[in-house]
Amino acid sequence: MVAKLPIIYVRGYAGSTSGIDKAADDPFYGFNLGSTHVRVGGSGEPTFYQFESPLLRLILEEGYQLKVKGSQEQFLDQQEDGAVSPQTIWIHRFYDVSASTYAEKPQDFSLESAAQDLLRLVEKVRTKTGAPRVNLVAHSMGGLICRCLLQKIIPEAYDGSAGTERKRAIDFVERLFTYGTPHGGIEFDVGFGMIERIRDSIGFAGGDIFGPGRMYEYLTPRTDPPQQRPEDWKARLMPDTDNFPLTRVFCLIGTNPEDYGAAHGLSSKAVGAKSDGLVQIENAYVPGANNAFVHRSHSGRYGLVNSEEGYQNLRRFLFGDVKVTADLTGLRLPQPAGDDSAMVWQAEVQVSIRGLPVLMHEQTAAHYCPIQLVAHPENDPADRPVPLVQSFLWTQQQPTDAGSTRYVLHVRILSLRERGGIFGFGDHLEQTADFDDTLVIDLVPRGQGYAAWAQWNSLISGPIRNYQPTGEPLGDENPEKGVWEARVPLPPVALEFFGERAAVALTVRPRG
């Protein structure tokens, strides 16, 4: 059973003073906002679907509490150390000091100051609840505040100098979950970099915090030379060290710019189609960290935070006890013979869970985020697995009325002929995959672990909903203690095309 630790929510960028005032007027900085819209089906038509808000869902489903008496911090200050339940939610109200409604001379917003104040809140929550660590949940710029805390503020405050005890970020924070955070900054598809240079030079409304110069300043501890930003420095690269391992970071990536553009048309057009309307897809995650792609926009009625997809990924990351990955392995990608052309290969994947009305993860070419497959005929790629999905789950949760927890993996592999950098469409059939099938995975609690069955839909007779697995479960092919792994070969007709070793490798390991 995973411990229910305190959750601290850190909101995103509010812009100018009017935006800051509006944010400060909200008691919970937006974490309390729900939605009544969801896009479903191939046509994308909206339909009514009531999502209460991540705040309310954590209260209803996970037993969390809100403690307020005038303010949350006022409540904390009045409590004895260790007297408050760890199963509580707190809001980092860093914008209040910059709101004109609270002060005649509001302070200019400083990301470093917000991160420093976050450390103070983390320490106070730990003291009053007795919890060893807290979970951080952040939207947009809030994720950068959290990274500043983890990468700069804590290492500088607890570096062991001057007789102080050396501590790591992991001594304070258990996990970091980010919604649409610009980990690599905010860039634009127009202007050839001129817009970014103007933004970073004048810092209008504090927008320079999304440029590499300022990001280097607040993500790099002063103890790390050189002080001059290296030319090859990348903001989205987060050091994977014992200070804070990347296994404890999850990035939710939005792939729908259109719905954000309805309210912020200029922004979504400037950043381009490969984005959530504000943050480009490639800048929305930390390489090496856990992630999921969902067809949601940066904010608004179809936004990431107020979405069922976002909440379900958040809930499993915080409270799931194991991590599950699925990889394509042993894949031989055929190449055309007899001419100078080559095949460009891509994979698409969608993950759904029985009982949920949304996709937990979705990478498709239509959403500008397919998985790129690289063929190396001279170097057999069979030993280079291609990640399809990574997720978290409860192994000891009660199965559904159907008798098992069912996860479904829809996999498509597509190809397109390329000659001299130009795609050829003479033999192309648009939206037609070379491989298209669904892997049905059933999990049943068994002892301290579980048993698993997996079958391709093309080999199942009748509707998936009526299918019940039979026979022995999949065997464990990994001798490492605590890690379970099994290979599920592609269907026979696909093996003839992609090679006899082509398979989906399923791995279950402790959550990390």
* Structural domain includes residue 26: yes
What CATH number should be reported for the domain holding residue 264? Answer: 3.40.50.1820
**Which domain does 342 fall in, by range?**
323-510
Give the mean pLDDT of 382-408: 73
* Structural domain includes residue 500: yes
Q: How many CA atoms lie within 13 A of 423 on its CB side?
A: 9
Q: Clarify whether residues 311 and 336 are in a common domain.
A: no
Q: Clarify whether residues 315 and 364 are in a common domain.
A: no
* Structural domain includes residue 95: yes
Residue 6 clears pLDDT 60, i.e. is over it: yes
Q: Clarify whether residues 247 and 337 are in a common domain.
A: no
Amino acid 42: pLDDT = 54
Q: Clarify whether residues 69 and 48 are in a common domain.
A: yes
Write down which residue in 319, 340, 371 finishes a domain.
319
Give the mean pLDDT of 274-295: 95
In the chain, how many domains are there? 2
Q: How many CA atoms lie within 13 A of 73 on its CB side?
A: 13
Give the mean pLDDT of 198-227: 83
pLDDT in tens, 214-252: 999 999 998 666 678 888 999 999 999 999 999 999 999
Split at pLDDT 50, 70, 90, the class of 179 is: very high
Write down the number of H helices and E strands in the chain: 12, 20
Amino acid 204: pLDDT = 76
Q: Clarify whether residues 257 and 108 are in a common domain.
A: yes
* Structural domain includes residue 253: yes
Rg, Å, the chain Cα set: 24
Residue 382 clears pLDDT 50, i.e. is over it: no
Sequence length of the chain is 512
Contacts of 253 (CB under 8 A, 6+ apart): 180, 276, 281, 284, 285, 291, 292, 293, 294, 369
* Structural domain includes residue 2: no
* Structural domain includes residue 1: no
* Structural domain includes residue 343: yes
Give the mean pLDDT of 66-88: 95
303/499 Cα distance (integer angstroms): 41
Q: Which pTM value belongs to this model? A: 0.93
Write down which residue in 262, 293, 319 finishes a domain.
319
Write down which residue in 319, 343, 366 finishes a domain.
319
pLDDT in tens, 28-70: 999 999 999 887 655 667 888 899 999 999 999 999 999 998 9
Q: Clarify whether residues 58 and 197 are in a common domain.
A: yes
Q: What is the mean pLDDT of the chain?
A: 88
Q: Clarify whether residues 14 and 77 are in a common domain.
A: yes
256/251 Cα distance (integer angstroms): 16
Hey, CA dihedral for 366, 370, 376, 381, is it positive or negative? negative
Q: Clarify whether residues 11 and 112 are in a common domain.
A: yes
Residue 266 clears pLDDT 80, i.e. is over it: no
Split at pLDDT 50, 70, 90, the class of 205 is: confident
Q: Clarify whether residues 203 and 270 are in a common domain.
A: yes
Q: Clarify whether residues 299 and 330 are in a common domain.
A: no
Q: Clarify whether residues 376 and 477 are in a common domain.
A: yes
pLDDT in tens, 128-161: 999 999 999 999 999 999 999 999 999 999 988 8
Q: Clarify whether residues 390 and 474 are in a common domain.
A: yes
